[in-house]
Structure 1
Amino acid sequence: MTTTGHSHHQVLVPNSDEEYPATPATSATPKKKCKKRLRRKSEWSDVKRKCLKNNGKKHVTKRGKVVDDKILGAPCHCRYRCFEKISHSQRYDCFQRFWRLGTREKQWDFVVKYSKKQPKNMRLNRETPNKRQFTYKYFLPITPTSTQSQIENVNVCKTMFLNTLSVSSKIIRTAWEKYDGCTVMEEDMRGRHANHHRVIKPDTLRSVCDHVRSFVPVESHYIRKSSTKLYLDGSLTIPKMFQLYKDWFDSSIYASKADTVRQYRDLVNQNFNLGFFIPKKDQCDVCHIYRNKTDRTHEEEDSYNKHLLNKNTARKFKDVDKRTAVESCGKILSAVFDFQKVLSCPHGQVSVFYYKRKLSCLNFTIFDMGNKKACCYMWDDSRKERC
Structure 2
Amino acid sequence: MEDGENEEFLENVDINDDVVTLRDLFERRKILLRKKKEILNKQYYANKLAAENQQQELVSVPLSGELEQEPPNQNLTSELTTLTTILDTTSTQNRDENITSIDVNINIVEPNKNDLEFSSDDSVTDPSFVALSDITNLKPLSPANTEWFPEREIENTAKKNGRKRKGNPNNWKRIINKRQRMMGEEYIGFKKDGTKFVQNDPKPARIMGPICMSKRCFSGKAMYCPKLTEEVRSEIFKTYWKMSLHEKKMYIASMVDKTPTTRKTKNSNSRRSDTKVYYLKVNDKKERVCLKTFLETLGIKEWTVRYWLGEKTTIDNESEPSAVVATETKKESARKYLMALPKLPSHYCRQSTSKLYLEPIIQTKSQLYRLYVDYSVSRNEPVASRKVFEGVLFEENISLYQPKKDACDQCCAHKAGNMSDEQYIKHIELKDLARIEKTLDKEAARKGTIHALTADLQAVKLCPSLNASALYFKTKLAVHNFTIYNLGTNGVACYWFDETACDLKATTYASFLVDYLTKLLENDPKDVVLFTDGCTAQNRNNIVSNALLRLAMAKNIVITQKYLEKGHTQMEVDSVHSVIERKLKNREIFLPSQYATITKEARKVPSPYQVITPDHTFF
Question: Which TM-score band (shorter chain)?
Answer: 0.3 to 0.5
Pick the structure with greater CA Rg: 2
Q: Which has the higher contact order (CA 8 A, sep 6+)?
A: 1
